[in-house]
Structure 1
Amino acid sequence: MSDVIKNVFVSHHHKDDASVDGLANILSSKGYQIRNSSIRVKPENQQRLDQKRISDRTIERLLRMKMRWASQVIVVIGKETHTRSWVDWEIKVAHQLGKPIIGVFENGLKDQVKIPKNLEKYATSRVGWRADSIIDALSGNSQFQEPDGSPSPKKLNGVNTVC
């Protein structure tokens, strides 16, 4: 297989930065390269964010620019992702921009994990931490899985359907 390159925006809780690197690594092992336009906050900038020295409006503008560049949005789903307002905002904006949105459960998750509200609404796929499943989703094959990779029902307009 020759290398495939995808421009993506990876939405994630910053505590899950290592999972973003892991995602790139498992995909590259299958000849699939991702160019990630998401923001990774350097420690020296975290204090500026914590002190609100950068306005939300500025952050929103930067995130929109980075999402427009990407062809797809991947959301890394960890144990705390559903509590992150910025992740939920990024998912909503990705939907408004017409981007496919792929949720990927973090490596090692076995139990049910709470899904961010907007990911429940707008995901085009939600898959376990397996390169083949992620590549299928990036290739446009919609699928919904549990964290362990088993099939999951997709909720559409208040109705559960199995995909």
Structure 2
Amino acid sequence: MRNVFYSFHYANDAVRASQVRHMGVITGNEPCSDNNWEAVKRGGDLAIQRWIDKEMVGRTCLVVLVGSQTCGRKWIDYEIKHAWNNNKGVVAVKIHQLKNFSGLQSTEGGNPFAGFNLTNGTSLSRVAKVYNPPYYDSKDVYKYIHDNLPKWIEEAIAIRKAY
């Protein structure tokens, strides 16, 4: 099992992300408790950056869990850039069709790798993969992610090694 760092928009997608993080097919970063996260945030941007950097040590891949408002968020962008620049695989999985506690699905978000360019000028969105489960039913989406996530992570790691 790979050890990955999950990146997601907490306010909108914590419940959906939790479903993926607790599938048991990948070892992932443990969630920071609300109290600890508030303490980190009070430390300002540098404290958040240090927390992210520390949490990414020993990870082999960044998995961006994409909801409706994931793209373009400051810290998700930082995590993508940090992971790629530190030779970690990067992959994104759209989770908008998983249900939250209220039983609601969300709208599809964009490609979180758009806007990033590699040193050779190639757009990261042309290199890193974004997977969008081809189902509408939340249970089917869950199963699809469960069955494919390890393969997607291995592919992301191989892609990163090729660059």
Confirm or deny a common fold (TM above 0.5): yes
User: Which residue number in structure 1 is paired with residue 102 of structure 2?
Assistant: none
**CA 1:59/1:111 → structure 2, altered by over 3 Å: closer, same or farther?**
closer
Structure 2-normalised TM-score? Answer: 0.65
Percent identical among aligned pairs is 22
User: Which residue number in structure 2 is paired with residue 7 of structure 1?
Assistant: 3
User: Which residue number in structure 2 is paired with residue 21 of structure 1?
Assistant: 18
CA root-mean-square deviation: 2.8
Deviation (angstroms), 1:82: 1.2
| Aligned residue among 111, 134, 146 for 1:115 | 111
Deviation (angstroms), 1:93: 0.6
User: Which residue number in structure 2 is paired with residue 133 of structure 1?
Assistant: 148
1: CA distance between counterparts of 2:22 and 2:36?
26
- The structure with the greater share of residues assigned to strand is 1
C-alpha contact 1:91 1:118 (8 A) present in aligned 2: no
- The structure with the greater share of residues assigned to helix is 2
Q: Which runs of 5+ in 2 are unaligned?
A: 98-104, 117-122, 134-143, 158-163
The number of residue pairs the alignment matches comes to: 130
The code of the aligned residue for 2:28 comes to N
**Which structure has more RCO (C-alpha within 8 Å, separation ≥ 6)?**
2
Which residues of 2 match residues 137-148 of structure 1 at below 5 A?
137-140=152-155
Structure 1-normalised TM-score? Answer: 0.65
User: Which residue number in structure 2 is paired with residue 98 of structure 1?
Assistant: 87
Runs of 4+ in 1 over 4 A off after TM superposition: 45-49, 109-112
**CA 1:68/1:42 → structure 2, altered by over 3 Å: closer, same or farther?**
closer
Q: Which runs of 5+ in 1 are unaligned?
A: 143-163
